[in-house]
Amino acid sequence: MHGHGGYDSDFSDDEHCGESSKRKKRTTEDDLLLQKPFQKEKHGKVAHKQVAEELLDREEARNRRFHLIAMDAYQRHAKFVNDYILYYGGKKEDFRRLG
């Protein structure tokens, strides 16, 4: 005998498939109801490249600001002069004070 209670039915397998889809739907609805408003979504995917770049740029800017604030005025000036020479070219002698 194939079905429930001694009755044979061709649709007995379909009943169980319908229940599992309802059960899946119910669990996703329950997950949404049980989620706290401040709780972030779970990310199973890799972040978009642009988002990752923006995050990295923000972190680098924060580190750069921290290091610049930690320097005194002379160290900051020397760093900016060296950065200028590296970027635009030239010699350090061009920045010497004329006595």
Q: If we measure between CA atoms, which residue out of 52, 56, 34, 30 comes closest to residue 43? A: 52
Is pLDDT larger for residue 84 or for residue 92? 84
For the stretch 59-74, pLDDT in tens is: 999 999 999 999 999 9
Q: Is the pLDDT of residue 87 over 80?
A: yes
pLDDT at 11: 60
Task: Match 């642009």 to its residue by tokens.
Answer: 50
Angstrom distance (rounded) from CA 24 to CA 16 = 13
Q: Is the pLDDT of residue 43 over 70?
A: no
Alpha-carbon distances, residue 69 vs 59, 65, 75, 82, 87 (angstroms): 15, 6, 11, 17, 22
Q: Is the pLDDT of residue 7 over 80?
A: no
For the stretch 14-27, pLDDT in tens is: 555 555 666 666 67
**Number of domains making up the chain:** 1
Q: Is the pLDDT of residue 9 over 90?
A: no
Domain coverage including residue 56: 47-93
Angstrom distance (rounded) from CA 59 to CA 51 = 12
Threshold 0.95, pTM exceeds: no
- Give domain status of residue 14, yes or no: no
Angstrom distance (rounded) from CA 53 to CA 43 = 18
Kindly state the tokens that stand for 81: 């002069």
